[in-house]
Amino acid sequence: MTALAAARPAGRPWRRAALWLAGLAPFFYATYGLANWLAAQRDEVGAVVFAFERHVPFLAWTIVPYWSINAFYAASLFVPATAGELDRHGRRLLTAQAAAVACFILWPLRFTFERPPVTGLPGFMFDALTSFDKPFNQAPSLHIALLVILWDLYARHLPPAWRPALHAWFALIGVSVLTTYQHHFVDVPTGALLGFACLWLWPLAGDTPRPGPLAADRRRRRLAAAYAAGAALLAAFGAGLGGVALWLAWPALSLALVALAYACVGAALFQKAPDGTVSLASRVLLAPYRLGAHLNALAWTRGEAAPVEVADGVHLGRLPWGRAKPRWRGATLVDLCAELPSPGGFAAVRAVPLLDLATPSPARLRAAAEAIERARGDGPVLVACALGYARSAVAVATWLLRTGRAGGVDEAVAMVRRARPRVVIGDNARLALARAAGVLP
């Protein structure tokens, strides 16, 4: 009887969901109210307003979708199917609340437009709202941050037929923060960034990106410092110039995350799955950096020859885009690039993400070599990274050495260089290669 009960799948965590709701609700109202009260004690609270916002219409009826997020919030805690998913979702909501309130206290802003008189049901709803929601607590918009979090959860669980309705209603909620005269525009993108940061920090599927010890590799530490300096510079320019320059907060955050990847988190920060797909949160938060990385790859490999065969159906080159993709329709891609998503058009993708310009660990090189060898059983293989010069090259060399196709490190490197002369395999990479192949302990 006990064994049968243990084998039976667990039901939905209703009681746990109720406990989460019982904790989150008072925390929300207490901290939100505290931030409002503290802002009201200040002699002056600033505002960030763009000229185009004067043309945003006030639409009283949009208070209905604006208010509806409260129902979606409460119900969302009963949507997750497992306790683990529920806890991740609860942590997302809690993190968004804590981060937003910290910003409201440290850098309070106020809403400056006067709301027209409203009667009827919308008037009643506005009166209820203003009883606790004062014209402070602006950026980042907690309403938008929660919207991002809830949107992701419901889209995962709703049947496909219902998703267009969900997207339409949630888009309306997003617009309503402006048309109800609750927020200025700057609050919207900052709230969205906070929401996506919570999705990234607490993924519902996969592991949370956790910091490890500071990287021992000096090159990684230098790259981390360079990206951190770039992030600080962009943030300072954005804050100093104001206006449209505030958009620099997005690339600044993107570079700060990349600095973390090089300093202590590693390639896991990019949230690239074994099938080459990248999480929604990672795509959004790191979009400015990814755009730069993509343009850099195109510039470096402009006019570069197509990927070349090294041995036994294993080819080496950069990630193929555009017209280069059809050639590889029946091949397997072994993708060593952490920062860019894998292109489509392959029979299969096996991703072993490695940081650019950093020495890969022997363990990751062994994983890459094993992925190459497994993929060979399904036909041609393309081993690629952003440029096809370093990560993919040392992975192919590891495969050559581990499978006995090369008799030593020098021979493996020479075979790769004969096929693709511009490859870069430095002393540290050669050492990692030797350790991955068991030549050195």
The tens place of each residue's pLDDT in the chain, 441 residues long, gives: 344 444 445 678 999 999 999 999 999 999 999 999 999 999 889 999 999 999 999 999 999 999 999 999 999 999 999 999 999 999 999 999 999 999 999 999 999 999 999 999 999 998 888 877 788 889 999 999 999 999 999 999 999 999 999 999 999 999 999 999 999 999 999 999 999 999 999 999 877 788 889 998 899 999 999 999 999 999 999 999 988 899 999 999 999 999 999 999 999 999 999 999 999 999 999 999 999 999 999 998 887 778 899 999 999 999 987 766 667 788 999 999 999 999 988 999 999 999 999 999 999 999 999 999 999 999 999 999 999 999 999 999 999 999 999 999 999 999 999 999 999 999 999 999 999 988 776
In a shared domain, residues 242 and 329: no
Instruction: Let me know the angle formed at the C-alpha of 36 by 170 and 135, rounded to the nearest 5 degrees.
Output: 60
Domain-embedded: residue 399: yes
Which of 296, 313, 335 terminates a domain? The answer is 296
Name the residue with tokens 């008189």: 117
Please report, for residues 50, 97, 249, 276, 372, the alpha-carbon distance to residue 101 in angstroms, rounded to integers and kept in the order given: 23, 6, 19, 36, 49
- In sign, the C-alpha dihedral spanning 36, 38, 39, 41 is positive
How far apart are the C-alpha atoms of 244 and 248, rounded to whole Å? 8
Domain that holds residue 228: 218-296
The two three-digit tokens of residue 410, written as one number:
């020098």
In a shared domain, residues 180 and 248: no
Could you tell me the CATH number of the domain that includes residue 382? Answer: 3.90.190.10
In a shared domain, residues 396 and 291: no
In a shared domain, residues 280 and 340: no
Domain-embedded: residue 264: yes
Global pTM? Answer: 0.92
Domain-embedded: residue 5: no
Q: Is 162 helix (H, G, I), strand (E, B) or coil?
A: helix
Which DSSP category does 354 fall into?
A: E
In a shared domain, residues 289 and 325: no
In a shared domain, residues 336 and 399: yes
The two three-digit tokens of residue 14, written as one number:
């209703």
Which of 296, 317, 334 terminates a domain? The answer is 296
Domain-embedded: residue 138: yes
In a shared domain, residues 228 and 375: no
Structural domains of the chain, count: 3
How far apart are the C-alpha atoms of 290 and 203, rounded to whole Å? 20
Could you say which of 103, 198, 337, 385 is catalytic?
385
Inter-residue contact 144 to 196 (CB < 8 Å)? no
In a shared domain, residues 259 and 356: no
How far apart are the C-alpha atoms of 207 and 202, rounded to whole Å? 8
Asked if 264 is an active-site residue, the reply is no
Domain-embedded: residue 3: no
In a shared domain, residues 287 and 310: no
Pairing of strands 314-318, 308-311: antiparallel
In a shared domain, residues 248 and 341: no
In a shared domain, residues 380 and 236: no
Domain-embedded: residue 431: yes
Task: Give residue 46's Cα distance to chain centre.
Answer: 31
Alpha-carbon dihedral of residues 297, 268, 212, 395, nearest 10 degrees? -60
Which of 296, 320, 336 terminates a domain? The answer is 296
Task: Let me know how long the chain is.
Answer: 441
Domain-embedded: residue 135: yes
In a shared domain, residues 243 and 142: no
Domain-embedded: residue 317: yes
Inter-residue contact 401 to 414 (CB < 8 Å)? no
